[in-house]
Each structure stands twice: as C-alpha cells, then as structure tokens.
Structure 1
Amino acid sequence: MRILASAYACEPGAGSELGKGWNLAAEMARQGHDVTVLTCGSHHREAIERYRETHDWPDRLDFVWHDIPGWPGPGYVNAKGIRQHYYVWQMKARRVVAELHAQNRYDVIHHLTWTVLRWPSFLGGLGPRFVFGPVGGGQSSPWRLRNGFPDRGWKFEAKRDVLNMVSRFDPMVLRCLGQADVILVTDEATRRIVPPWWRDKAFVVTDIYAPSPAGDAQRQAGANRGLAILFAGRLEYWKGAQLALGALAQLKDRVPGLSFTIAGSGPEEGYLRAIAADLGMQDIVRFVGSVPHAEMNKLYAAHDVFVFPSLHDSAGQAIGEAMAHGLPVACLDLGGPGVVVDATCGVVIPTKGRSRAAVETALAHALAEIGSDTGRLASLQSGARARAGRLSYEQRVQDLVRSYY
C-alpha cells in the first residue's frame, strides 16, 4: 500500500511519542509498504538524516520536511509555545499533503502523532482512507485521587476538565472526527468524547508498544536481595508516583530489603522528595534523575516489578519496555495502562469510588503478594515477556493494516 504518515513527533532512537512515530513508519516500510512521512523538519531533520548515514534504512521509507516559514519548532526541552506551533503546523499540512497525494496517489493517510484527541488533524477528506490515532486525552483524574495534589495539579486538572468538555464542541475536532474513516482511541473515556453518531467507527486499541523482549535472565525476589520496585517517567503529579510512595510506605517494615527507584525528572521532584521524607522512606527510595533512553536497559534488568500508577496516561511507553525485560506491571485501571495490562503480566488496581488511601492500600497489598510468592513472580515475568511480544511494532503494524487500513 501507499501510506502517508503524519508524524509531527518522529525521531529514531528516542522514547515516547518521538520513538513511536519513527518506529511505526519504519516498520510499515519494512513490511513492504511505500511510506512517506510528513514530519517537522526543524525538530527532527538533523537527527533523521544523521541516522540515515550510519544505519540500515528501509528501502520504501521517505520523508517530507514540513515547516512553518519563519517559525521553527521550539523543541521539546524548553517547549514554550509548542502546542501553538503544532496546531499551526497541522493546519498548514493540509495543502502540502494534498499536493503530495496528487503526485503519489496514497491509499491511506494515517495521523500518528501527536496522540491527543483534542489536538486534531486536518488531513481528512482528501481522498485516501483517513485513519486518526490512536489518540487519548479523554481521561480525567478521579476526584478522590486528587487529594494531596500540589497547587499546580489542582489548577492543571481543572483546566484539563474544561478542555475535555470544550473539545466535544470544538468545530475543528468535530471536523476531524467526521472526516475520519477510522478513529482509534486508547481507552473508553476518550471514546466517550466521540459523538455517539460516529462511535461505530471508533475503536479502543492500546497505544503502548514494546521492543523485542530482552535476553537478561529473569529475576527472583528474595534470592540475593529484597523486592526491587521501579518507577520511570516524568515527575508530574498525574504520573502517580506519590501513590506508589504511599503504598510502599505500608510495606517498608513488612518486606525485608524493599527498595524503590524513581527514574525521571520534572516539576514535582521536590513534591515527591518531601512525601518520601514525611513517610520516613529515605533508606528505601532512590531518585536517580533522568536516565538516557539507551541506558534504561540496565535499570530494568536490576528490578523485579514496574509500578506505573498514572492517573490519565494515554500510553506510557515505559510499560512496554519494562515488560520486554520481564518486569510485571502494577498500574491503575485508568487510561492506556489499564487497557494493556492484565492478570497474565501484572496487576490492575480498581479506582472507582476509592479514596487515595484505599488505592494505596490495594497497591501495597498487590505488591506484597507478588513479592512474597516467587512462583507467581516468575509466572508474571514470563507473562510480561509474552505480552511484550504481542505489543511489538511488527505485530502492531500487521494488526493496523489488517483491521483498519
């Protein structure tokens, strides 16, 4: 097939959305499709061209650098104004893609990144089949779990609630959804934002992907050390690391040798350090800061369980990476993680009607059970690797083409 992939975020060797945009497009080409990727040249051209000079390149993969004249992308580190840049980039992409389609006659136009429903694409109605997503963003933090949020968190969640409500009536969002032949969403909360008359073309699919399962040996808690728990992600209140701290505080005197590593940086690092100190967990918790993506393998290999109690993550690519290294995942039944994790590869904590204290207690109980039963831990480790195999980019592209193209 001839595919035009729209991927504002797209970069080889990166994690999160950047890596997803690259990996999906490259895998499509490896599977024999003619793929043209439209991406933001000012953000990604240098890295992609440097990669092309030093790595094998899929024969059928081509890039078109689309930029806004006089307004280069602000980058992802100090990303002030990036949402505005993205929106204008998307609006101007329509004419570029229309001209490309006149020359190449694509079969499918697929919007890959960004993956938020309220940030629409303008590439529908150009002739080819238009696939939008997977996109998320419809989730909302349960009110009872907002207890203890920093001030910034309360303000952000209120703004997010308003934006999700407004997006139901945003004419640009509605135009995008109406013109889409397929709408892929990451969870039921996001699917409910799609107007009822279009929900028959909206499908819930996971937006979490996994690399090839790693070859490091399975770990057994209690053999030479205690249970080693890992969290990896940006240190934002909505990632839920504070819930993991509250849960592990209940286990610090019950589980010998318990350790908790927090990998990442972000605005709530001070908030999380203060919680750890208040709970008397200085001897258990280790903050290691941002870890380069290429070095995460060692960190996964040194731990037994991955905890990711995010309150409204659409994806969370670290989940797929952790499972590829044989780490069972403990998460909440919210957003994308609650869709991809099941009893074969981890534990999903119900949140409906529960207070923060109740959720932390349930998470503590689940982690204690896993750590005390080496047979169950080994089974979950095997299940995590098997689940990672089903989340590979190779498998996911095959599923996309067969089910939605």
Structure 2
Amino acid sequence: MEISAPRGTKDIMPDSSSHWQYVERTAREVCRAYGYREIRTPVFEHTELFLRGIGETTDIVQKEMYTFTDKGGRSITLRPENTAGTVRAYLEHKLYGESQPSKLYYIGPMFRYDKPQAGRFRQFHQFGIEAIGSPGPIVDAEIILAAVEFFTRLGLKDLNLFINSVGCPKCRPVYRAKIQDALRGSLGEFCEDCRSRFDRNPMRILDCKNEKCQQLSKDAPRLADCLCDECRDHFAGLQTVLTAAGVDYQLNPRLVRGLDYYTKTAFEIQYPPLGAQSAVCGGGRYDGLIEEIGGSPTPAIGYAIGLERVILALEKQGLLPSTETGIAVFVAAFDDKTRVQAFKLAAELRKAGLACEMDYLGRGLKAQLKQANRYPARFVAIIGEEEAAQNKVALKNMQTGEQQLVDAGQVEQKIRAEMED
C-alpha cells in the first residue's frame, strides 16, 4: 500500500520551493526595513498556554487544536498560531528589560484540524509580526503599513484593508449586553455555533460566515457606538495616522476576528478573487494577553499572514517569479578511469561558487551530454584519458558549440570570463 501525505498537508516540491523562498525573502526585507527581529519558537507548547492565551471559548481551542499527552504525562499542543508562543518567549527571556517596544517577527508552520480547502491546510505557514510594549495608535498604524508594504513589494493588487475597534474590558460588557438583548428573540434561528457563542462570546456572532446568521444579525447594535472614550480616541488616532500615511482603508463594524485576546484595533486584509477564504492577513491589539499568561499588564499588537493564500493570490495574478533552472557547468567523464578526476574538478568548481553537476550512474559520454542539456548546463567539461594524462579539460560552450582544451586549473577562470562576455 502506497503511503501518501496526511489529509490537509501538502508537499512543497523543488519547483515550488523557490516561490516560497521569494515570498519569505520579501517578508524578511520588509521586517528589516521596519526594525523587526526574527524569533523562532517551538512548534509545540504546553496546552495551557493556548487555553489561557487564545481563550477556551474560541473555535481554535474547542475544535481545531492538535493536542496530545507526551511520555511525561504533560498535555502538549502543536501551535495553532504563534502570538501566544512569542509572548511566552518575551516573558521567559525577559525581553521587557530591553528597549521597548520589542519588535519581533516569525515565519513557520502552524497546525489546526480544519476542513481543507483552497489556500487552507491543517499544516499551514504564517509570517507574522508582534510589537510589544507600546500603547499608542502609531504602532498600530506601523504594523498595518508593514503588512501593506509586504503585499506591495510582491506586486499584489485589488487588496482591501478593513479596520475596526473591538473595544476593551471596560466598554465591551456594555456591548455584550446590548447585542444579547437584540438577538435573544431570534436566537433559535441561528446556527449551532452562533447559539453556543451567545452566552460565551456573543460578539463572535458577527463573525459567522453563515448567510442566514449574517442576515439575522445585520441590524445588531454597532460596537463603535459602545466604545469608551479611551477606545474611541485610540481608534480615531489610528485613522488619522493611516490617512496621513496615504493608506486606503474601509471601516467594517462587523470585523471582530476569531481570537478572544483582541482589544481595541482589529484589522484584516482581503484578496476577493480567493473567494470565501479571501483573508490573507489578520491581526489586532491584544493588551490583556501578556497579563493573562502571567506577565505584567503590557500593551501589544500583531498580525499573521497565511503564506499559502499569498502564494495562491500571486499565482492568480501571474506574479510568481520564474523558477530558476540551469547550471554553470556539467563535468563529464569519458569512462570509469577518469571519473575520479571528474569528481575532483566538480568539487573544485563548486568550492569556487559555480553550480556544477556530474553523472552518478556510469552513463556513456553521449548520454552524459544529453543529461547536461536537460539541466541545462551552459558549459560541459569533458575529461577523457588524454585530457587526464595532460591535466587538461575539453571545455565546450553549449550555447555556441565551441570547444577548446583548457588547463584543469584554469577551468573556473575560463568559464567566468565567457559568462561575463
């Protein structure tokens, strides 16, 4: 029986890996420009971190986490997101003792037991940044701008930025009571998820993708009308800074995001051609999270970008770079007697920085030349008995067909000189 990859996972094959490297390189360049440093946290954490950090009422914790008991009897969870792990590392390694805010970014795999569909997998990859230690709206605007810059550098167009304020522990209880009063009479008509959210986190009802639920809640009270003065001023400040930076955005009063730890700013970037799963970036402020997992009250904000969806969007717009193919030189051995000299030359050329290949299957010279064309190789260095005896190489330019005898020690210089012409 042939074993295949588990459902919801995907092999990234060599022809595609260069696309991932391109996207990841762009992310790192943006982070460097904005002063964010890379952090690499474990792919699994103690389950308690996510129960306290993400919230026990979230779909992620209730339905989607990969949790197991290790051989020491500890409950361990593959990370479903990386904000909680980053905050845990921030506290454990006392980054709060450094100059604030701490500006961090990560790139890596996450794991959620979710229904696989276009751009959504059970093992998926995120690029995210976190700014920890600053309470003002300017840092909110900065990370939003960094996300926009990332997509701009990739050449993506037709993206929509939505922002909202989800309030704070002071004003959210007021909204909670209002939305419960407004929806209680029709609660039986909502989907099962929304009914379960009604008591636990009624604000999440606004995030339901079920069309009937959206219709039933379309006249629900607006969270913006219930904000306290602090949240209202913060949200107004964010809009002022974004406008000053020339960032186009839309207000979306239904944008609440799917994690309990968000406070004040929430935002999402969507690429509509992806259909129902159009969100390619989402984030917000989480001023209570660090205290929730054992630290002192510390303001923070961050976002995560799903790289599978980004690459899918780049494919749709024809923006992925061509896969790099070809090598500088193929070293061909005439027979078994000259194979060691061919290997020695290949090693020297690689050490000098030239992409080089040779035959490993004992093919004849004619078959080796065909193999060189398949790469394709710009040059073929042929070593026969006579060449080996004279410490020379027959160097053939595969573009011009010209062949010349070159000292073995001069092959690199000769190739570089011709490549520069």
Could you state the TM-score of these two structures normalised by the residue count of structure 2? 0.25
Which entry has the higher C-alpha Rg, 1 or 2?
2
Higher strand share: 2
